[in-house]
């Protein structure tokens, strides 16, 4: 079986309540309106360079069907562009990916913003990497 780069396996999903709480209390963030990435370095528990979660605010989208739709778009944009993140990582990270607007963007707009956000994240990591 071939190793496909465009996968989002279950093990790569961020589910740890402890990690998520730590992320909100001491994590760093980068943003590219209307997306935001909050992240912290983590101990490599299962040999994955990233653990990713997505979130869409209930305040912006009252109906669960709308929130789920945008979470699906965020996961898909991540899945197809995660190679941009993986290329520059020196240690594993836990990442939370937020959609922070009431605007209903198309998938193409979200993907463009995602690529820019990942580039911004890479710059941040390079700039703040311990020498």
Domain boundaries, the chain: 11-117
pLDDT tens-digit map of 113-123: 999 999 999 89
110 or 50: which carries more pLDDT confidence? 110
Q: Give the pLDDT of residue 4.
A: 62
Q: Which two tokens stand for residue 8?
A: 């989002």
pLDDT tens-digit map of 11-56: 888 888 988 899 999 989 999 899 999 999 888 767 778 889 999 9
Q: How confident is the model at residue 2 (pLDDT cuts 50, 70, 90)?
A: very low
Q: Give the pLDDT of residue 89.
A: 80
**Burial profile 67-97: b = 16 or more Cβ within 10 angstroms, e = fewer:** beebbebbbbbbeebbebbeeeeeebbbbbb
How far is 82 from 21, CA to CA, in rounded Å?
23
Whether the predicted pLDDT of 6 surpasses 70: yes
- Residues of the chain by 3-state class (helix, strand, coil), percent to 5: 45, 20, 35
Indicate the pairing of strand 50-56 with strand 93-99: parallel
How many Cβ atoms are within 10 Å of 121's Cβ, its own excluded?
A: 23
Q: For domain 11-117, which CATH number applies: 1.20.58.340, 3.30.230.10, 3.40.50.300, 3.40.50.1980?
A: 3.30.230.10
């Amino acid at each position: 079986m071939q190793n496909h780069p465009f996968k989002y396996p279950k093990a790569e999903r961020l589910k740890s309540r402890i990690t998520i709480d730590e992320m909100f209390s001491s994590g760093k963030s980068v943003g590219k309106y209307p997306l935001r990435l909050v992240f912290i370095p983590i101990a490599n528990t299962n040999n994955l360079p990233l653990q990713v979660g997505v979130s869409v605010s209930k305040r912006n989208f009252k109906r669960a069907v709308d929130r789920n739709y945008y979470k699906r778009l965020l996961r898909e944009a991540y899945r197809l562009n995660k190679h941009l993140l993986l290329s520059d990582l020196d240690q594993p990270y836990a990442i939370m990916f937020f959609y922070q607007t009431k605007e209903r963007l198309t998938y193409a707009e979200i993907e463009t913003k995602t690529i820019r956000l990942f580039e911004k994240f890479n710059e941040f990591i390079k700039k703040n990497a311990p020498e």
